Structure formats: C-alpha cells, structure tokens
Amino acid sequence: MGYICTPEIDNLKPVTILAIESSCDETSASVCVDGKILSNFIANQKVHEQYGGVVPELASRAHMQNIVPVADAAIKQAGIDLAHIDAIAFTQAPGLIGSLLVGAQFAKSLALALNKPLIAVHHMQAHVLANLINEQDKPDFPFLCLTVSGGHTQIVLANSPLDLKVIGETIDDAAGEAFDKTAKLLGLPYPGGPLIDKYAKEGNPQAFKFAEPQIPGLNFSFSGLKTSVLYFLQKQNTEFVQQHLQDLCASVQHTIIQILLKKLKKAVKETGVKNVCIAGGVSANSGLRNALTETGKNLGWRTFIPKFEYCTDNAAMIAITAHYKFLNQEFSTLDISPTARAEW
C-alpha cells in the first residue's frame, strides 16, 4: 500500500484532525480544529483493578469494544461529521503492542476509507505538547518539561513543537511505578498513585525518612526508594500500616517529589531555561503541582501545568501534536506499524 497523497495546504481553511490514543488502558479520541481542542473523550478500563495492574490481553479486548463508540462520541461532541476531517492521527509508540495495534488499525482504516492522510504520533512527545493546549497560558520556547508517567520519567528540552530532546531520564523505575509499587506494598489497589495523593493530604511528609538516590547528572532512579519502603514495612505489622497510612503516603510522596525537583532544578541551572512544565499521569499529583508552583515562585521560573484531563493518557495531546505535524507535512504511509518501544 503506497503513500496517501499529501494534502494541499490551504491557509484559509481550518485544519480538522481526529486523533486516537490507545497505548495502555485508556481508549481516547479527540477532535482539534486549528490547534483548538473541541472534544476529548476518554473511556477508562475498570477491568484491570482486580488484577493489581494492567493485563495487556484484556486491555486490547477493551480497546476493541471501545474504539468505535469513543471515536463516534468525540466527533459528535465536537459538532463535526466525518466529511470535515482533514487527517487522522494515532499513537504509534511506545505502549502495549496489542493496545497500540487496535488504535493504529482503526486510524489506518478510517484514513483509507476517507482518503485522508495519516499522522503517527509518539506518545511521550505528545505528553510534553499537552502543555500547548491551553491557548491563554502556554509556555514560550525553549521550555523544559518534566514528563512523569507510569512507564517514563524524563526531562525534555523543547526548542520548538517538533524539536524535543531528552536530557535526563530514569535508569530503572518510572515515577508512576514508584507510586504504584509502594502503594501496593501499603496494601492499596492499582493504580496506587491517585490514592497515595489522596491519603498524603492528611499526613505528615516528614514522619518517615526513605532513601533518596545519589545518581549523577540529570538521570533519575526510583528502585532504591521502593526497596527502602519494603525493608521498612517488613519490620512493621498490618495494624501499624493502617494506623500510619496517611503519614506513610505523605512521606513516600514527599520523597518522590524531592527526587524529581532536585533534578529539575539542576536542569534549569545547566540549560538556563526558566520556562518549566510538567506532564504525564504523575503530573496530576497535587503535591507535585503545588511543589512546582512554589519552587517556580521562589526561583523565578514561569511554570505550566496541564489541566487534569490532559495529564493522564488522552487523545487531545495526540491531536495537538498531530496539528504541528500536519503544518510540517509529516504524514505516514499505510504500511506503518506501531512499536512497543521507540527512541526519539
């Protein structure tokens, strides 16, 4: 199957993009017109809760059930119909391969049926560009973005929408994994991040001290923290954990935030860039949001935090990234395949 014809760019005509996100356990579709998000429909998959983590096979099946109604809802919510769509975008990588295949196949089929171009988007680039969704308050270039999700922890230097460079990343667990794995040790269900956030609000962040890694440069490590929480809890009984749950959550959250902010401050110092954003599922954490705002005030940074719905996985971030790729004429062929891992 060859190339889909590159569309003529008509500067007077608004560009309408339908975007699909299906990299993990959220099925999402979004419509954006000239970079303005008109809809962002997200179907969460509750089926994984009982297993304490995402079951890839079940995620793919749920995407299969959700994808058509979710895309339909996004189109209706935006008040457009199929005839208005100028391009179809989808998450090409990284993610669970079965989940990615469902979104990719749907997007390719629709592109073929409508004879419209296809735009492949990198999920982690899209998390960064979620910060460009808010027209009223978006960062100027260059900016730094701390991207913290279930699978990644990165510091990205953004020179322009499509010129993004990873300058630091985790060498083991991601920040989201640190939340979810310690939550599991505390007996909390998956995903534990939002629950740690909730209990931490009532607790003392200084109550317990957990290990902070000493990693050189701008890279992160979270596996030591998890082990230090594990060793500490092995010496306690269940009653202790129940009685001190709020303090334990507050202390774990505080340690994770300290690790993140220490490297972010170092990145600002090294690059001289003082426009600072956060992105990804963990950027929904209220402690991290407050700490970033506070640090920004103290150190003279301009800080940017996406709305909650654009922090965790969503198709609006795929749509805004695709908008810039459309303007740059970056289209894909119909033989493109998703990949579970992808460098950038």
**Which residues make up the interface to Zn ion (CB under 5 A)?**
149, 313
**What six digits make up the tokens of 144?**
């730094």
Nearer to ligand KG4, 116 or 289 (CB): 289
The angle, 0 to 180 degrees and rounded to 10, between the axes of the packed helices 286-299 and 193-200 is 70
Q: Strands 16-21, 87-93: parallel, antiparallel or unpaired by DSSP?
A: parallel
Range 118-131 burial, b when 16+ CB lie within 10 A, else e = bbbbbbbbbbbbbb
Q: How far is the CB of 123 from Zn ion (least distance, A)?
A: 6
Q: How far is the CB of 257 from ligand KG4 (least distance, A)?
A: 10
Q: Return the residue nearest ligand KG4 (CB atom).
A: 281
Residue 179 near which of Zn ion, ligand KG4, none (CB within 5-8 Å, type-dependent)? ligand KG4
**Interaction between residue 197 and ligand KG4 (CB under 6 A):** yes
State whether residue 327 is helix, strand or coil: helix
Nearer to Zn ion, 150 or 161 (CB): 150
**Interaction between residue 92 and ligand KG4 (CB under 6 A):** no
Q: Which of 154, 312, 321, 332 binds ligand KG4 (CB under 6 A)?
A: 312
Q: Which of 41, 179, 210, 222 binds ligand KG4 (CB under 6 A)?
A: 179
Task: Name residues contacting ligand KG4, limited to 261-280 (CB under 6 A).
Answer: 280
Q: How far is the CB of 216 from ligand KG4 (least distance, A)?
A: 26
Nearer to Zn ion, 95 or 203 (CB): 95
**Interaction between residue 86 and ligand KG4 (CB under 6 A):** no
Q: How far is the CB of 176 from ligand KG4 (least distance, A)?
A: 3
Instruction: Return d(Cα 139, Cα 285) in angstroms, integer.
Output: 20
Instruction: Return d(Cα 210, Cα 193) in angstroms, integer.
Output: 17
Q: Which of 150, 161, 203, 306 binds ligand KG4 (CB under 6 A)?
A: 150
* Whole-number Cα distances in Å, 177 to 22, 68, 174, 223: 19, 30, 5, 9
Instruction: Return d(Cα 96, Cα 186) in angstroms, integer.
Output: 27
Instruction: Return d(Cα 54, Cα 25) in angstroms, integer.
Output: 7
Q: Is the dihedral of CA 126, 92, 78, 308 positive or negative?
A: negative
Nearer to ligand KG4, 240 or 308 (CB): 308
Instruction: Return d(Cα 260, Cα 263) in angstroms, integer.
Output: 6
Element (H, E) at 141: none
| List of residues contacting ligand KG4 (CB under 6 A) | 24, 149-151, 176, 179-180, 191-194, 197, 280-282, 284-285, 312-313
